C-alpha cells in the first residue's frame, strides 16, 4: 500500500471506515467522527452537542471515567475530543501496537455511554467554567461575537459552547434524545491514520462497530444556514486593547474557487511576510498580532481579518488594514507574488500531511464533504492551476465594500461610528 493510498469500507449499518497506512510512523491516530455539531441543535438548546461530547468520556458499564483516561494514558497515549458547527470528533493517539485498545474504547463510549445524572451535573459546572474562560480570553471571544453578528441568534450563529443560560437549562432527557437521533452509524466515520495493517483495522472495527444499532437516527436538526448579515457592532469592555475582526462573505468549503481564495488570504495576512503583517506591524508598529483567516463550511463561508490594537491606534490600524484589503481587491497580486504564495501554501499543506492526526482529520472531512479521498497531488495541482486572473477576480468578488462586516471588543467606538471609520 502506497503512503497516499486510502482504504474505504462501508459497514452494513452505514458506518464508514477510512484507513491510511503510514509505514514509516510509530503511532496511529484513531478518530470517531459524527456528522453532528452545534448547527444541528435547536437554538434554545445551544451547547447541547458540546455537552454531549464531554459526557461520552464519563463512563460506560465496564469503564469508569477514570479508567477510560487511565487505560489510554498508561500506554503513553492521549485522548480528547472537539465539537464544531458541523461535526464532532472523539480521538485517541497511541503507539501502533495499541491500536486495538483505541478502537475498543471509542466503540465503548459510542455504544454504551451511561449519561449518569451525577456526572452530568458535575460536567455542567465544568462547561460553565469553560464558557467563562472564553469570556476572559478576548482574542477568542471576539471570533464568537463576529460569528453571532454575521449569522444572528440561529443555531449557526450561536457559540459552539452554548451560553450560560442554555447550558444551565439543558436536561438529561434532551441530551439522550439528541444522542439517539444523531449518533447513529449512518452519520459516523471511523478514520485511522498511521502505521497499521489495513486488514487488521477492518477486522477490529467490524467487531467493535458493525452491530445492528437500535437507534433509528434522523435528519439533521438544523434549518438552512441563514443569510450573511453585514453587521457592524461594538461590544464595550474594559480591556487594554481593542480586538478587531473584519469579515467578508465567501462561499462553501467545496467550492472550486477555494484554492484561489486560499492564495489571496495567505498573501493578505497568512504569515510574517504577508502584506498586513508587514504594513501594520513591521512598518508602523501598530499591533503585535494581525492575520487573515478563512471560515468555510458545507454551505456558507466568510473570510476575515483579526487584529489586537491599543485604543489610540485603532483608527490608524483600521485605515491601513482596509487600504491593503482594498488594494488586493482592486489590483490582485503580482505574478511574482502569486508564485511565491503558491509555494508557501503548497509547503504548508504538504508539511501538515506529515502528522497522523492531520491525516486522520483529512480522511473524515474529505468523506463528509466530497464522499471521497482527495489526494495531496490533486490539491497541489489545483493550487498550481490558479492563474493570475483567477486570484484577481476572486479578490474583487469577495472583498467588495458592500460585504464588509465588523466586530470590535474592548474600549471601542460606538457602532454608529464604525461606518465613518470604515470609509
Residue 93's beta-bridge partner residues?
29, 78
Grid cell locating 57: 468520556
Residues 6+ apart with CB under 8 A from 399: 248, 325, 326, 328, 329
How many whole angstroms separate alpha carbon 121 and alpha carbon 124? 5
Q: What is the CA radius of gyration of the chain?
A: 23
DSSP structure class, residue 24: T
φ, ψ of residue 13 in degrees (nearest 5): -85, 0
- In this structure, which long-range contacts are made by residues 66-69, counting pairs with CB atoms below 8 Å and at least 24 apart in sequence? 68/105, 68/108, 68/109
- Active-site residue 53, yes or no? yes
Please list the alpha-helical segments (H only) found in 183-227.
198-209
How many whole angstroms separate alpha carbon 272 and alpha carbon 320? 16
CA angle 297, 254, 364 (to 5 degrees): 75
How many whole angstroms separate alpha carbon 364 and alpha carbon 172? 29
Cα 45 → chain centroid: 20
Name the nearest CA neighbour of 364 among 78, 84, 95, 68: 84
Q: Return the number of other C-beta atoms located less than 10 Å from residue 177's C-beta.
A: 13
34: alpha, beta or left, given left = phi > 0 and alpha = psi -120 to 50? beta
> Which of 4, 12, 41, 53 does the annotation list as catalytic?
53
Cβ pair 60, 109 in contact under 8 A: yes
Dump the DSSP string for 255-321.
-TTHHHHHHHHHHHHSSTTSHHIIIIIITT---S-EEEEEEE-SS-EEEEEEEEE-GGGHHHHHHHH
Grid cell locating 311: 485604543
CA angle 186, 189, 190 (to 5 degrees): 135
Cα 202 → chain centroid: 28
Cβ pair 178, 41 in contact under 8 A: yes
Name the nearest CA neighbour of 167 among 23, 321, 41: 41
Active site (catalytic) residues: 53
Amino acid at each position: 500500500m502506497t503512503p497516499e493510498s486510502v482504504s474505504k469500507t462501508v459497514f452494513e449499518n452505514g458506518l464508514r471506515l477510512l484507513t491510511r497506512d503510514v509505514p514509516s510512523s510509530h503511532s496511529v491516530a484513531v478518530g470517531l467522527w459524527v456528522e453532528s455539531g452545534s448547527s444541528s441543535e435547536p437554538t434554545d438548546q445551544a451547547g447541547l452537542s458540546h455537552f454531549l461530547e464531554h459526557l461520552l468520556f464519563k463512563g460506560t458499564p465496564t469503564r469508569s471515567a477514570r479508567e477510560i483516561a487511565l487505560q489510554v494514558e498508561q500506554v503513553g497515549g492521549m485522548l480528547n475530543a472537539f465539537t464544531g458547527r458541523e461535526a464532532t470528533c472523539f480521538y485517541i493517539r497511541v503507539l501502533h501496537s495499541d491500536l486495538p485498545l483505541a478502537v475498543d474504547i471509542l466503540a465503548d463510549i459510542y455504544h454504551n455511554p451511561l449519561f449518569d445524572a451525577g456526572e452530568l451535573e458535575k460536567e455542567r459546572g465544568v462547561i460553565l467554567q469553560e464558557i467563562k474562560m472564553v469570556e476572559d480570553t478576548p482574542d477568542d471571544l471576539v471570533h464568537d461575537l463576529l460569528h453571532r453578528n454575521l449569522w444572528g441568534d440561529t443555531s449557526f450563529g450561536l457559540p459552539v459552547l452554548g451560553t450560560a443560560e442554555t447550558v444551565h437549562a439543558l436536561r438529561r432527557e434532551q441530551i439522550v434524545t439528541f444522542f439517539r437521533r444523531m449518533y447513529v452509524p449512518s452519520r459516523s466515520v471511523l478514520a485511522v491514520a498511521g502505521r497499521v495493517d489495513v486488514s487488521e483495522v477492518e477486522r477490529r472495527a467490524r467487531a467493535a462497530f458493525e452491530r445492528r444499532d437500535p437507534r433509528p437516527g434522523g435528519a439533521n436538526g438544523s434549518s438552512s444556514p441563514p443569510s450573511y448579515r453585514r453587521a457592524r457592532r461594538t461590544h464595550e469592555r474594559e480591556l487594554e486593547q481593542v480586538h478587531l475582526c473584519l469579515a467578508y462573505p465567501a462561499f462553501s468549503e467545496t467550492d472550486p474557487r477555494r484554492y484561489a481564495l486560499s492564495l489571496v488570504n495567505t498573501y493578505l495576512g497568512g504569515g510574517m511576510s504577508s502584506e498586513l503583517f508587514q504594513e501594520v506591524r513591521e512598518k508602523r508598529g501598530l499591533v503585535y498580532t494581525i492575520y487573515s483567516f478563512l471560515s468555510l463550511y458545507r454551505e456558507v463561508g466568510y473570510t476575515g481579518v483579526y487584529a489586537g490594537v491599543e485604543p489610540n491606534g485603532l483608527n490608524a490600524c483600521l485605515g491601513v488594514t482596509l487600504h491593503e484589503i482594498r488594494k488586493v481587491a482592486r489590483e490582485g497580486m503580482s505574478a511574482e507574488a502569486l508564485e511565491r504564495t503558491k509555494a508557501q501554501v503548497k509547503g504548508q499543506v504538504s508539511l501538515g500531511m506529515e502528522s497522523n492526526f492531520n491525516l486522520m482529520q483529512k480522511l473524515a472531512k474529505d468523506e463528509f464533504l466530497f464522499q471521497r479521498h482527495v489526494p495531496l497531488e490533486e490539491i497541489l495541482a489545483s493550487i498550481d492551476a490558479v492563474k493570475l486572473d483567477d486570484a484577481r477576480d476572486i479578490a474583487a468578488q469577495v472583498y467588495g465594500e458592500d460585504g464588509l462586516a465588523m466586530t470590535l471588543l474592548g474600549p471601542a467606538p460606538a457602532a454608529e461610528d464604525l461606518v465613518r471609520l470604515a470609509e
